[in-house]
Structure formats: C-alpha cells, structure tokens
C-alpha cells in the first residue's frame, strides 16, 4: 500500500471511469487483494498435503513397512503445514489492514454524512448509521468471511481430484456441495428480511436512547421515565425477537450443514470402502477422499456459519453507496469571498423530509454594512429562514446569492468561512472554550480566537473561568450557564469575521451586560462591511439594526421604520396612559403605526415591547 494505514485521508475526485466511492477505495487495495488471492491459492494447494500424506502412508509406507520413508514424509508434512499456517496468518493480517485502509479512506466522509444526515431527514434514527456501516464493513473484511470467499473458487479443484480417485466419489462430493449450496441460499432467503428489520429497530433504539439522554433533566423531573421505559421495553423486545429469529435461522441451518457434512464424510468413507472391496480404489484413497471432501465443503460451511456478517456487510455497503451518491464529489473552484450583498429571491422552504412549505415567496436584498431584524409571531418561519440562509436546510424553490453567486455553488467548507451562525437551540461540543470558539479548527490562532471573543464581549467572562480559554466545558457545555453558552456561541459565530452573520434569538438568555455586548457585536459586523441578520422577539436586539422584516404565515414583508415596532408599555395598563402613549408615538413617528401586518409578537425588555399588526 502506498501510504500508512493509520493516516486518515480523503478520497480525491473520481477520474476516468468515475467509479463509486467505496469501489474506488477498495480498488486502491487491488495489489493487496491480488496478493491475498495468490496466498489463498498457495494455502489451498498446501491443503492437499494431508490427503497426499495419508495416501502415501496407506499405499507405500504400510505395505513396505519403511520407517525412514514415514519419517521423511512426516518431516515434509510438518514443513508444509508450517508454511500453510504462516500464509494463513499473513492472509488474515492483510485482509484486516485492507479493512482498516478502506475505513481510513472513507471515515471522514462517513462522519460528514453523520453530521449532515439530520439536515436531510426529519428522523434522527439514521444519524450514526454511516459510522456503524463503516465499522461493519471493516469488521467483515478483517473476519473469516473474506477468507472463505477466496477459498470458494478452489472447490472445483478438490472435486476434480475426487473424480480422479473415482467417478462415484466425485459424484458424491458434488452432490454434497449442491446440498450445502441449497442450504446457503435458504439461509439467505430466510434471514435477509429479518436482518433489515433488526437494523431498523436498532436505529430506533439508538435514537430513543440518545434523545432520552439529551433530555435527562426533563425526563426525570416530568416523570416520563416509566412511560419511556415501557416504550423502550417494547422496542428492545422487538429487537431481541428479531435477533433471536436471526440466531435461530443461522444456528439451524448451520447445525444442518455441519451434520450433513459429517454424514457426507462418513458416506464418502463407506463408499470408498465399498469401492476398495470391489478393487476399484486403493486403501489410501479411502482416507484421502474423506479429507478432500471435508476440505472442499469447509468454505461453504464457514459461509453459512457467518452468513449474518455477510448480510450485514452487504446491507452496509449498499447503504453507504447510496448515501455517498455513488461517486466522489468533484473538487469545486475556489470562489472569491463575498463582500458586497445578499440577495434572496422567491424563496420557498420546506422542512427536510416534508413537502409542506413553511416559507414561500420570501425575498429581500441587503448591502454590505446592513443589519436586518427579522420579527414575527412564533412558528411564522423565522428560524426556517435562518437555517436556509446559512445553508443548513436546502431551498425548495427560489435562490440565495452572495455577490451574485448561488449559495450551492460554493464549496461547503469554503462557504462556512464566510458565514457565522448562532442557532436558536444552541449546544456546544465537548472540548475547551477556545476550541468551541475556533469551531475546532486545529489551525486556529490565539489572536483570532481572542479577537472573536472580544467582538462578542465575552473575553473578560472567559478569563474568569477556572482555566480561562482552556476550560473544558463538558458534554453539551454543561459546565457553563445558559447565558454563558449563548455568549460563547456568539463568539463562535463571529470567529474569522464572516461576511454573513445570522443570529437566531441571540438574546433569549442574556442579561443586560450580555445584550449590550450583542448590540456592540452587531455594530462591529456592520462597521467592517459584513451583513447581520438578527431574529428576535425582544426589542433590545433591534437597537443595532437598520432594517426590519416581518415574517408572518410564511410570508415576508420589509418594513419602512424600525421605531414603528417599539413603543413604551406601562407596567399597569390604564386607558388614559395608553391613549397618551399612542399619541406620543404618533407624534414621534408621524405615522399611525404598521397596518395589516397580520401578526402580533411581544417580547419585553424592561418596559418595551415589539408591536406588529397592532394599530396605534
């Protein structure tokens, strides 16, 4: 192999034949597989040592009573068996390393598919399936299954030798091989559907366990443990039943094949003895034929015994081939960084795995240095808009362009450098504060990390942590408070000074100091020529924005004046105070308010409220 197996590498673009990814990875091990085939040939030839030894002992040594001949044959046999054992060890080690090499070639792609899976489907049951499939393929390549496959083509050789001994010995061996072949096919037909069901149930179990673990606090406090336990018991019971069914099939056919092979071996001995009595074969052929038939049928028996791994590896291969889309992705041209504008035209979006549109005909344009506040009632489609703007969700119709270039035309990894994103449901990853801010980029510099933290106004807060930027935040960031996680998430979004920064409810857990830092960060994005899009219910998030867009019932509407959305609300509403407030607001804006917006969304910070669709 041309490179160390321990290194993790990515497949380059396919060229020429445009082979699918996994086939391309396996084809790079062609020389190793050819070597395994040659080693298998030698092993199967050396397997003839036993039958030939017995043939010589019975036909030459015993009649001649020659001890030197017996010792010489025994010494030769020991040497041949030693070579056979070394070759078998070498074959197994090569196959194990082929599996490791294929895994190293595709491991990064499998992990990327795991990260992208929930963005393409509503269900999370298949989230970790690419990694499991790759583990299954690697385990299969390193197990006894491939060795049996390499031994199967040598069955005709043993059959031919049996026919050389005697026609009826060859026919008996051929009949036994056909019977075992039928048992193999029956094993496949009986277990394939059950194996698919077991895979689905396994994914559902994993998904439920992961979801329960993520929401452990709510599950415990709200008393959901008994109910979820009952549901888990049902899933687990169904999974165990399918595993038992698979085990029964495999063990049943395996026992049948083993018993039949033992019977066939005895029948061959009996047939050979009968032919010896008739004077048609020698005494040595009686023992040699039994050993040959046993060896000829051994690969078939091994295949039946490990049929579950054959099926599992086959299913994993098909799933990964389908997941990878058949061929390695072509390398994209590095496009220039966006610096001027964002254009959204006739955008329609549906959730992954659904055909129901959440947004439709959304459109707006923003110039560099702008900050857009997106407001609207709950479930209006604001978070959906955020996801599609950063490329997390695909657009059903319409287009999103940065400096005239469609979002899909950017290489995903390159695009991530130009986009900052703070999701509504923020969850940090296990690691240090610095690693989370740097998006786990091993090449990140301390200066860039600290600059992002300073822009987010979180530098001083981080320094007060036990180990500063090196503080390990634990799984999901559980060492930090909700507000601290949100502020570090803001720093992560600002890392690298991305052109487009999308913040979804960035102040939902912030105190007054955090909101001031958020406002300063948005102004910094505008000052350096970036574009900020802020989705919020609380009025304080609008302070640094110069444009406002209302999202309601999946429709978007650009509003003329931001201050039309904000008006004082007294702690104890009183008709006179409300009238005075309305008059004051009318005098200040010169407008009666925003009419026909079609929604009301409120969120208080002190005594201010966002008002939409409410006539002043």
| pLDDT 10s digits, 231-281 | 878 888 888 888 888 778 777 877 887 788 788 888 888 888 888 888 888
Give the pLDDT band of residue 119 (cuts 50, 70, 90).
low
Task: Report whether 311 contacts 140 (CB < 8 A).
Answer: no
pLDDT reported for residue 366: 92
What whole-number distance in Å separates Cα of residue 139 and Cα of residue 100?
A: 9
Q: Is the dihedral of CA 170, 173, 177, 182 positive or negative?
A: positive
Task: Report whether 134 contacts 142 (CB < 8 A).
Answer: no
Token pair for 327: 């061929």
Portion of the chain with pLDDT greater than 90, in percent: 16
Instruction: Flag whether pLDDT at 211 surpasses 80.
Output: no
What whole-number distance in Å separates Cα of residue 55 and Cα of residue 295?
A: 15
Q: Which pTM value belongs to this model?
A: 0.62
What whole-number distance in Å separates Cα of residue 44 and Cα of residue 154?
A: 7
Q: What is the pLDDT averaged over residues 456-480?
A: 88
Task: Report whether 141 contacts 95 (CB < 8 A).
Answer: yes
Instruction: Flag whether pLDDT at 509 surpasses 50.
Output: yes
pLDDT reported for residue 105: 72
pLDDT reported for residue 498: 92
Torsion of CA 422, 425, 430, 432, to 10 degrees: 40
Token pair for 365: 């344009």
pLDDT reported for residue 490: 93
409 closest CA partner among 338, 327, 324, 498: 338
Q: At what angle do helices 144-151 and 307-323 cross, to 10 degrees?
A: 100
| pLDDT 10s digits, 49-85 | 888 888 888 888 888 888 888 899 899 999 999 998 9
């Amino acid at each position: 192999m041309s490179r160390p197996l321990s290194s993790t590498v990515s497949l380059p673009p396919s060229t020429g034949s445009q082979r699918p990814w996994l086939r391309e990875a396996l084809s790079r091990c062609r020389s190793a597989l050819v070597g395994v085939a040659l080693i298998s040939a030698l092993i199967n030839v050396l397997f003839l040592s036993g039958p030939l030894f017995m043939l010589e002992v019975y036909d030459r040594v015993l009649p001649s009573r020659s001890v030197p001949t017996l010792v010489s044959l025994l010494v030769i046999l020991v040497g041949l068996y030693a070579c056979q054992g070394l070759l078998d060890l070498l074959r197994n080690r090569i196959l194990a390393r082929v599996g490791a090499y294929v895994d190293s070639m595709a491991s990064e792609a499998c992990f990327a598919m795991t990260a992208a899976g929930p963005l393409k489907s509503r269900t999370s049951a298949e989230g970790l399936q690419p990694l499991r499939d790759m583990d299954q393929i690697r385990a299969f390549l390193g197990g006894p299954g491939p060795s049996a496959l390499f031994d199967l083509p040598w069955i005709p050789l043993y059959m031919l030798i049996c026919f050389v001994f005697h026609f009826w010995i060859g026919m008996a061996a051929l009949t036994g091989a056909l019977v075992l072949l039928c048992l193999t096919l029956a094993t496949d037909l009986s277990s394939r559907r059950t194996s698919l069901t077991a895979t689905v149930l396994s994914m559902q179990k994993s998904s439920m366990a992961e979801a329960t673990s993520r929401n452990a606090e709510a599950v415990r406090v709200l008393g959901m443990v008994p109910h979820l336990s009952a549901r888990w018991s049902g899933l687990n019971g169904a999974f165990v039943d399918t595993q038992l069914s698979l085990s029964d099939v495999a063990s049943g056919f395996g026992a049948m094949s083993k018993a039949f092979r033992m019977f066939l071996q005895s029948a061959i001995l009996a047939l050979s003895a009968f032919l010896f009595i008739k004077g048609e074969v020698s005494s040595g052929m009686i023992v040699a034929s039994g050993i040959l038939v046993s060896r000829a049928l051994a690969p078939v028996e091994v295949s039946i015994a490990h049929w579950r791994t054959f099926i599992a590896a086959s299913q994993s291969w098909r799933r990964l081939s389908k997941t990878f889309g058949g061929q390695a992705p072509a390398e994209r041209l590095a496009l220039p960084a966006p610096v001027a504008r964002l254009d959204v035209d006739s955008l329609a979006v549906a959730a992954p795995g659904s055909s129901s549109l959440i947004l439709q005909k959304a459109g707006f344009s923003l110039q560099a240095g702008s900050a857009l506040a997106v407001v609207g009632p709950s479930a209006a489609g604001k978070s959906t808009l955020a996801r599609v703007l950063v490329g997390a969700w695909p657009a059903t119709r319409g287009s999103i362009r940065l400096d005239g270039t469609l979002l899909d035309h950017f290489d995903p990894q390159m695009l991530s450098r130009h986009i900052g994103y703070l999701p509504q449901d923020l969850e940090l990853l296990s690691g240090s504060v610095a690693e989370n801010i740097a998006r786990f980029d091993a090449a990140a510099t301390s200066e860039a990390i600290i600059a992002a933290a300073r822009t987010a106004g979180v530098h001083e807060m981080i320094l007060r942590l036990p180990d500063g930027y090196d503080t390990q935040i634990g799984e999901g960031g559980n060492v930090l408070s909700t507000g601290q996680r949100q502020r570090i998430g803001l720093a992560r979004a600002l890392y690298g000074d991305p052109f487009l920064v999308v913040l979804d409810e960035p102040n939902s857990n912030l105190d007054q100091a955090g909101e001031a830092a958020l406002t300063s960060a948005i102004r910094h994005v505008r000052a350096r020529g970036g574009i900020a899009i802020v989705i919020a219910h609380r009025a304080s998030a609008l302070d640094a924005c110069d444009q406002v867009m209302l999202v309601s019932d999946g429709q978007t509407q650009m509003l003329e004046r931001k201050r039309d959305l904000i008006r004082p609300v007294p702690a104890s509403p009183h008709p006179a105070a409300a009238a005075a407030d309305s008059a004051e607001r009318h005098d200040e804006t010169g407008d009666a308010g925003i009419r026909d917006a079609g929604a009301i969304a409120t969120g208080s910070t002190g005594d201010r409220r966002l008002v939409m669709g409410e006539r002043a």
